[in-house]
């Protein structure tokens, strides 16, 4: 077999393999492993949650690092007086992000993109698993509603305090989650 035929066969085989992989990737949008997305999770959520080396009260609980409410090294809730460094905070955030990622994957019954998975996981990280599980946002998503209709639900989750009032930090966070969801 001459060199040109070998090159042509190689190109043909490569095209077939890429076509098969493209179909497999398209069918598994919501099956991306956490390991492949962990840097994106950290970068997205880390940018939304300011690093705090000393535990602070945030209306519902003590939190530290990048918004962690749980001390994973001591297997307990974060307490007043806890101190953390950035490496530990990143590790804790990734532990919690994996939990949210797994939870979102279990709740969503339709194919979603990696960006949508990260946006929903960020939402669940901030609001809690139950908030996402019982939300109209999730109901609309799983019903097959238009993605813009689903994304508009992020705008409803901007209130905090008692009595509830619009929180600028939540407005900014939801805008970022909504933008990522739609990208």
- Phi and psi angles of residue 54, each rounded to the nearest 5 degrees, phi first: -120, 135
pTM of this structure: 0.76
Q: Taken in order 122, 123, 125, 126, is the CA torsion positive or negative? A: positive
Q: Where are the alpha helices (H) located in the chain, listed in sequence order?
A: 3-27, 34-48, 86-107, 114-127, 129-133, 136-143, 147-151, 168-182
The string of pLDDT tens digits covering residues 112-145 is: 998 999 999 999 988 988 999 999 999 999 999 9
The string of pLDDT tens digits covering residues 76-116 is: 999 999 999 999 999 998 888 888 888 998 899 999 998 99
Q: Taken in order 115, 107, 29, 141, is the CA torsion positive or negative? A: negative
Distance of CA 152 to the CA centre of its chain: 17
For domain 32-182, is the CATH number 1.10.10.10?
A: no
């Amino acid at each position: 077999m001459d060199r040109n035929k070998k090159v042509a066969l190689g190109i043909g085989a490569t095209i077939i393999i890429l076509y098969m992989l493209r179909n497999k990737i398209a069918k598994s949008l919501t099956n991306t492993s956490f390991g492949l997305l962990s840097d994106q999770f950290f970068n997205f959520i880390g940018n939304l949650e300011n690093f705090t080396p000393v535990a602070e009260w945030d209306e519902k609980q003590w939190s530290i690092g990048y918004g962690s409410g749980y001390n994973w090294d001591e297997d307990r809730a974060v307490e007043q007086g806890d101190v953390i460094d950035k490496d530990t905070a990143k590790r804790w955030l990734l532990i919690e992000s994996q939990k949210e990622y797994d939870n979102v994957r279990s709740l969503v019954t339709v194919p979603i993109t990696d960006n949508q998975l990260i946006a929903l996981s960020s939402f669940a990280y901030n609001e809690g698993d139950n908030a996402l599980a019982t939300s109209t946002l999730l109901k609309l998503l799983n019903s097959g509603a238009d993605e813009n209709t689903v994304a508009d639900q992020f705008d409803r989750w901007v209130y905090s305090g008692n009595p509830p009032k619009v929180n600028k930090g939540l407005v900014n966070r939801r805008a970022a989650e909504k933008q990522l969801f739609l990208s």
